[in-house]
Structure 1
Amino acid sequence: MQSPEARPTPAPATVPPVADQPADEFLWLEDIHGDDALAWVRERNARTDAALLTPDYEALEASVLAVLDAKDRIPMVTKRGNWYYNFWRDEANPRGLWRRTTWAGYLAADPDWQVLLDVDALAAAEGAEWLWAGASLLRPADGEEYRRAMVALSPDGGDAVTYREFDLAACAFVPGGFALPTAKTRLSWVDADTLYVGTDTGPGSMTASSYPCAARVLRRGESVAELAAKEPYFAVPADHLSGGVSHSSTPGYVRDVATDVLDFFTSRTYLRVGDDWVHLEVPDDASVSLHRQWLLLRPRTDWTVAGAHYGAGTLLALELDAFLAGDRGFHTVFAPSPQESLQSWSWTRDFLLLNLLHDVSAKVLVLDPAAGWAGRELDACPPLHSADAFAVDDEDADCGNDYWLVATGFLTPSTVLRGTLAAPGAGSGGGAATLVRESPSFFHEAGYVVEQHFAVSADGTRVPYFQVGPRDLVLDGGNPTVLSGYGGFEVSRTPAYSGAIGRAWLERRTELNGSAGTVRGGVYVVANIRGGGEYGPAWHTAALRENRHKAYEDFAAVARDLTARGVAGANRLGCVGGSNGGLLVGNMLTQYPELFGAISCGVPLLDLRRYTKLSAGASWIAEYGDPDVPADWAFIQSFSPYHLLRAGVNYPPTFIWTATSDDRVGPVQARKMAARMEALGVPGLWFHEALEGGHAGAGNNAQAARLHAASYEFLWRRLTAAAPDSTPA
């Protein structure tokens, strides 16, 4: 391949003002199911398949599928009553089984599962391409077992689903039971004959972001048409992101809570008191959690109230009744340090579990509200690993203080442990967790090592990244390396075991030209750039809107650091990202092409001029800005890859992949980007669009294996080639 010096340095990214924008010549590709658009897709799918499908590739894909279908991988469960529920896909059940077992059954090497719903059999019986999308169970009366559920099924893997009432004892749908047609529905059980439902009931019922803007009361026997005619129980304006109502049936704390989601990061919470909705007057950017008598708040920005100042990312607690009476004397449950952040929390019967990151390594705290929120660290986690602790079933009389601990690392197969916290008055300790399940090993982990490094971004910020590579790694720039990132929506990228990455990347070997006969293996890197949540909300807000470029500068800094440290020169360094990560690598393509030898861009956001008009795009205005506001477009245009493409730049080979049924980002942005690159004569371009699978790009394990293996196959071929492939797929 050409050295980075052989590539022309790109000119500064500039885009004409909105009024001077040329017509979008590929608007016709926005007709998602149009005949011409789908013919265009099928032609390019065929080209990519022709280039991709070789015996070696098919063996790789089969190896990845074997990981996804492995019978001995961990069946994760959720406890409801006396049963432990699981959804499972494998080779024999590609659409999956919804099933359950007892605790004794789960501990067995081969659990005795009771199959509740066979989605493959359902799809075959109904002639529909059903995909599992979850279930919501109705809390039974005291002393009774769970009996009813609302099962969600997607016709294509998208976010729009059909809901049907299911009888758990009969293992069948309820004849004449609740049934809601396919839509982006939000629902909550009230009682056996009542649901709160927000769904598409016609014009004006959905927000500009494509989510429900009202919740209504649906009673047994009523149709969706009757639902539409009712007055909303709670409603929000159509320019808000969404609105909905949830019902809590916890004994002693039965209540209705409504949420008006203003945008992706701000919302208002309302409590039903008598016939009125009472606004909980806290900052709109605070995460609000109600649990029994407690109100928990986590503000995303600094907050001063009642003479006290609380920093962003602090977790605050106060009894709800006291708050409603006017008390604002919050207790600081957790205050972050510069290296530490709160990721999530979970209540057992008597304790609060906090999942933290310290320089992107896991840490778990147990807090005892009965002892003034005294706490201790739960079973110290090893460095450079992830761990997540959460309650098993806080309402179970016998195991209300039991917790799950799920731990993993890049080279550590995932484990599920279970422990019990001490009773109140005995402190916040408890017995050590014991191993329940352990994932099998899918590659030779002992031959690799995990390291954490820090790159320095353009503004001097230290940006951490994980590097997974062979123990005998030669630092001469010749190692095929893939750099992964996300950098948005306060999502943290943490260490996680992946047998698929182990097989599709780390264990691959090649003898590269010019490396003195040295056999090289893959190096996998994860960048913890700004825009994510690794260091709390401030790490995220540092790359919002007009500061979006900081996320891209961070990622570029990691790429340069890998080259400077001798891990990979530009011709051996690729990057991969999906969704917002697809936008990230789209900006690497258009703004930093000299840093990379290949790019894999999945289910991406790429046209920032029209994203608010496509699928659920309007819901992300708080993250990126509003392109219809001239002042916002002034900065948005600087990171809109579709508009940054220009002739005469030597772009690295690129694989763009998406799914027709993705109703969150949508496939049209990937289509238009590929079409414009083709029009500019950009060589080495692959494009693939799965015809189902939703935003994940895959509706079953076989599709997931295809997309995963294809992405890494593309990167491997390009990064180990002696010269760049200039032939379009």
Structure 2
Amino acid sequence: MPASKLTYPQTRRDNVTDDYFGTKVADPYRWLENDVREDRQVADWVAAENKLTDSYLASLPGHDIFARRLKALMDYERFGIPVEQGGHYFYMHNSGLQNQAELFMRDSLDGEGRVLLNPNEWSADGATALAEWVPSEDGKYLLYSVQDGGTDWRTVKVLNTATGQQLSDELQWIKFSDFSWAKDGSGFYYSRFPEPASGEKFQATNENQKVYFHKLGTAQADDRMIYATPGHPKYGHSAHVTDDGKWLVIITSEGTDNRYAVTVKDLTKADSEPRTIIPELTNQWVPIGNMGSTFYFNTNKDAPRGRIVTLDVAAADPVATMREIVPQSEATLDGANMVGGRIFASYLVDAKTEVLRYAPDGKALGKVDLPGIGTASGFGGEPDSTETFFAFTSFATPTTIYRYDIATGQTTAWATPKVDFDPSQYEVKQRFYTSKDGTRVPMFIVHKKGIKLPAPTLLYGYGGFNISLTPGFSSTRLAWMEQGGVLAVANLRGGGEYGKAWHDGGRLHNKQNVFDDFIAAGEDLIAQGVTTKKQLAIQGGSNGGLLVGAVTNQRPDLFAVALPAVGVMDMLRFNKFTAGRYWVDDYGSPENEADFKVLRSYSPYHNIRSGVEYPAILASTADTDDRVVPGHTFKYTAALQHADIGDKPHLVTIETRAGHGSGKPTDKIIEEYANLWTFAAYWTGMKVKSVE
């Protein structure tokens, strides 16, 4: 089959046209937006596409080798960062090949762990996952959320940790919510949306989110509404109780930008009303702790790379009391926490983590010694904690959990994984290349030592929503590199690696910069002799799927393989489904004429170039993806298969009972990447061999 042109399923083309500011835009595959679970014609199309893709992948060499090796590389014990409450330690644990990690509890740090929740027992296919979980302050109760089939919707339940018995409490219609217990453990605060209309659960836009308080032992219908903004239905809200239990802090946003309003409620006064102290959605305000009414915030106000300030929230004008504690530095402030009387500030230095310690008055106390160059995360805890925990990882370093003694500054490994590979065989380097407009862009390049270059190379990118790509271990990527492949990760504009200016440089009307950065990364890899056009594969998911689709249209000659996953492919209708309306912060709105012109210029679905040879393409999505609805990829695939773009395969895999990525069971991950690497290996010329 690989040697001949494929015969694709016949996809109906309808006469559907929209008028955008006088420009007629055809949308012949509009019907593929319908919910695959509800529409038989869409379901039949999905079945036909999957059948073709499965038969094609079965004809390629190497699938069994990749599947076996992925299974071996993922078969190692993994721990999450422990959370201490009431003298108990709560943490996630996967013995290796479990589809879902279990939640454990210990009564002391080195004590025997016992299982509190085992999601592997919740469904036969392993696709029901434990999502968020928060223990009460005394550790007596655990609230947790259940994610079924990859959806963003959550069902929230409560467990008695001593008896293991589930309480009667059950909450629905929750997504994009934080959870925060009242100090006395009587209940918790959360955010929810109204129940969607029948049949619209996975497609309706999400609006009118409100903050509620749920009292244990009562029905959700009796929950007390704490805060809402009916005049601004697109506003979203998250609520958090301060460590001293005296204040509720509500952070309000409208989209994905870190532009927040701040509202506080005095919990010491039963009749107090929420008071908005920062009404403008202009700057980032992330609370990191408080001392009485003096609140510490991580903000980018007058500091595009971030700084730490205090506000007195009890003052008549809290912003007027603002005092700088930790000034902006050359590095980007990525996050901060107040733990054990210290401020732990995490910075990105050329996309690598550096953690600095400060006293509450801003006095510098030195660095946290990290195990190497990579990514550190965690550093949570309470004001009186004597310890904190963090995870450290890098491209050739599996995620290890460390305990940090706040008094002594001593770091000790708490959970060290043992993976079936030798990290000393791999080399990691960071290179800076020049983009089209002269911007200097960093890129990590990872491969086995001593391999012959040029080699088949996987170039990965994202470039959006202020999200930074930092070094991290991946068993799936390791399976690619074991075969002599190269991994390249480009830190494109649109991300958060260098603060607000870097993000702004790759969003809205600057979005083309992201595509130019990615194209330049590919050109640089070729110029440096790392790979060739015939060996270069590109990969990205979600906004990264958009990236792959856009650059494939713009430079189909540059790549041998394109792997767009769960991508935003129709830039003219993304805002009409589920969470899509949040994304106008990064993309702009197709309902604005100036934005429409930009979006139309790069929308992957609308810019496929018939008559031009395209690379081999394997797109992917899932039926329960209610973040980026699968209709994006369905329409894009149908348009690819209709166009005259050469004889290479242009296929799609559509998973069932899977979503945007979170909660995906281990067996599905193994199968997914065995498919991707088999396809990419064949079309980049990689010779797949057994690994002993």
Relative to the length of structure 2, the TM-score reads 0.87
Residue-by-residue CA offset, 1:464-515 (whole Å, 9 max, x unaligned) = 101112332444xx31011011111111111112232112x1111xxxxxxx
Taking the aligned partners of 2:473 and 2:617, their CA distance within structure 1 comes to 26
For the 8 Å contact 1:235–1:244, the answer to whether it is kept is no
Residue-by-residue CA offset, 1:322-360 (whole Å, 9 max, x unaligned) = 7556543412403121xx211111221211111112222
Structure 1 231/57 Cα, relative in aligned 2: closer, same or farther at 3 Å?
Answer: closer
Aligned residue among 224, 228, 237 for 1:234: 228
The answer to whether residue 22 in structure 2 is matched with residue 19 in structure 1 is yes
For the 8 Å contact 1:662–1:697, the answer to whether it is kept is no
Match of 2:572 in 1: 609
Quick one: percent identity of the two aligned structures?
25
One-letter amino acid matched to 1:291:
G
- Most deviating of 322-331 and 581-590: 322-331
Taking the aligned partners of 1:697 and 1:671, their CA distance within structure 2 comes to 21
Q: 1:258-269 residue pairs with structure 2 within 5 A?
A: 258-265=250-257, 266-269=259-262
Match of 1:690 in 2: 655
Match of 1:632 in 2: 595
Residue-by-residue CA offset, 1:93-115 (whole Å, 9 max, x unaligned) = 42442222244436xxxxx3211
Match of 1:664 in 2: 627
Aligned residue among 232, 240, 243 for 1:246: 240
Aligned residue among 14, 38, 41 for 2:43: 38
1:440 aligned counterpart, secondary structure:
coil
Structure 1 247/73 Cα, relative in aligned 2: closer, same or farther at 3 Å?
Answer: closer
**C-alpha displacement of 1:404:** 2.2
Q: 1:174-573 residue pairs with structure 2 within 5 A?
A: 174=167, 177-184=168-175, 186=177, 187-190=179-182, 192-202=185-195, 209-210=205-206, 212-220=208-216, 222-226=218-222, 233-248=227-242, 250-251=243-244, 253-265=245-257, 266-273=259-266, 275-281=272-278, 284-293=282-291, 294-300=294-300, 303=301, 310-321=302-313, 326=318, 327-337=320-330, 340-370=331-361, 372-379=362-369, 382-383=372-373, 385-388=374-377, 390-391=379-380, 393-396=381-384, 400-422=385-407, 430-475=408-453, 478-503=454-479, 505-508=480-483, 521-573=484-536
For the 8 Å contact 1:362–1:381, the answer to whether it is kept is no
Taking the aligned partners of 1:198 and 1:159, their CA distance within structure 2 comes to 14
Aligned residue among 73, 77, 80 for 2:85: 80
Taking the aligned partners of 1:100 and 1:557, their CA distance within structure 2 comes to 48
Aligned residue among 646, 670, 673 for 2:636: 673
Structure 1 275/607 Cα, relative in aligned 2: closer, same or farther at 3 Å?
Answer: same
For the 8 Å contact 1:451–1:466, the answer to whether it is kept is yes
For the 8 Å contact 1:259–1:267, the answer to whether it is kept is yes
Aligned residue among 538, 543, 550 for 1:580: 543
Taking the aligned partners of 2:341 and 2:662, their CA distance within structure 1 comes to 41
For the 8 Å contact 2:389–2:403, the answer to whether it is kept is yes
Taking the aligned partners of 1:74 and 1:232, their CA distance within structure 2 comes to 36
Taking the aligned partners of 1:244 and 1:697, their CA distance within structure 2 comes to 20
**Segments of 4+ in structure 1 off by > 6 A?**
203-208
Q: Which runs of 5+ in 1 are unaligned?
A: 3-14, 107-111, 141-145, 304-309, 423-429, 509-520, 723-729
Match of 1:717 in 2: 682
Structure 1 386/209 Cα, relative in aligned 2: closer, same or farther at 3 Å?
Answer: same
Taking the aligned partners of 1:697 and 1:347, their CA distance within structure 2 comes to 28
**C-alpha displacement of 1:691:** 0.7
Taking the aligned partners of 1:90 and 1:609, their CA distance within structure 2 comes to 44
1:123 aligned counterpart, secondary structure:
coil
Residue-by-residue CA offset, 1:620-676 (whole Å, 9 max, x unaligned) = 110100001112101111221111113111111111001111111121101110011
Structure 1 550/198 Cα, relative in aligned 2: closer, same or farther at 3 Å?
Answer: same
Structure 1 564/635 Cα, relative in aligned 2: closer, same or farther at 3 Å?
Answer: same
Match of 2:12 in 1: none
**C-alpha displacement of 1:377:** 1.8
Taking the aligned partners of 1:246 and 1:184, their CA distance within structure 2 comes to 16
Taking the aligned partners of 2:509 and 2:195, their CA distance within structure 1 comes to 36
Taking the aligned partners of 1:319 and 1:645, their CA distance within structure 2 comes to 52
Aligned residue among 127, 130, 136 for 2:128: 130
Taking the aligned partners of 2:304 and 2:80, their CA distance within structure 1 comes to 37
Structure 1 282/334 Cα, relative in aligned 2: closer, same or farther at 3 Å?
Answer: farther
Taking the aligned partners of 1:381 and 1:648, their CA distance within structure 2 comes to 52
**C-alpha displacement of 1:119:** 2.2
One-letter amino acid matched to 1:60:
F
One-letter amino acid matched to 2:488:
V
Taking the aligned partners of 1:431 and 1:232, their CA distance within structure 2 comes to 41
- Most deviating of 291-300 and 594-603: 291-300
Taking the aligned partners of 2:524 and 2:639, their CA distance within structure 1 comes to 31
Structure 1 62/236 Cα, relative in aligned 2: closer, same or farther at 3 Å?
Answer: farther
For the 8 Å contact 1:599–1:652, the answer to whether it is kept is yes
- Most deviating of 617-626 and 345-354: 345-354
The Cα RMSD (Å) is 2.9
Structure 1 695/380 Cα, relative in aligned 2: closer, same or farther at 3 Å?
Answer: closer
Match of 1:152 in 2: 145
Residue-by-residue CA offset, 1:100-158 (whole Å, 9 max, x unaligned) = 2244436xxxxx3211122233436xx99632222232323xxxxx2222221122221
Structure 1 104/628 Cα, relative in aligned 2: closer, same or farther at 3 Å?
Answer: closer
Residue-by-residue CA offset, 1:57-80 (whole Å, 9 max, x unaligned) = 12311321333342x334542222
Relative to the length of structure 1, the TM-score reads 0.83
Match of 2:10 in 1: none
Structure 1 231/16 Cα, relative in aligned 2: closer, same or farther at 3 Å?
Answer: closer
One-letter amino acid matched to 1:471:
K
One-letter amino acid matched to 1:402:
E
Match of 1:427 in 2: none
- Most deviating of 436-445 and 553-562: 436-445
One-letter amino acid matched to 1:235:
T
Match of 2:57 in 1: 52
1:553 aligned counterpart, secondary structure:
helix
The answer to whether residue 160 in structure 2 is matched with residue 167 in structure 1 is yes
Q: Which runs of 5+ in 2 are unaligned?
A: 4-17, 688-692
**C-alpha displacement of 1:457:** 0.8
Taking the aligned partners of 2:519 and 2:392, their CA distance within structure 1 comes to 30
For the 8 Å contact 1:585–1:599, the answer to whether it is kept is yes
For the 8 Å contact 1:598–1:719, the answer to whether it is kept is yes
For the 8 Å contact 2:299–2:309, the answer to whether it is kept is no
One-letter amino acid matched to 1:256:
L
Residue-by-residue CA offset, 1:170-199 (whole Å, 9 max, x unaligned) = 21211xx22123543735433554444433
Structure 1 458/706 Cα, relative in aligned 2: closer, same or farther at 3 Å?
Answer: same
Match of 1:705 in 2: 670
1:64 aligned counterpart, secondary structure:
helix
Taking the aligned partners of 1:680 and 1:320, their CA distance within structure 2 comes to 61
For the 8 Å contact 2:193–2:209, the answer to whether it is kept is no
2:73 aligned counterpart, secondary structure:
helix
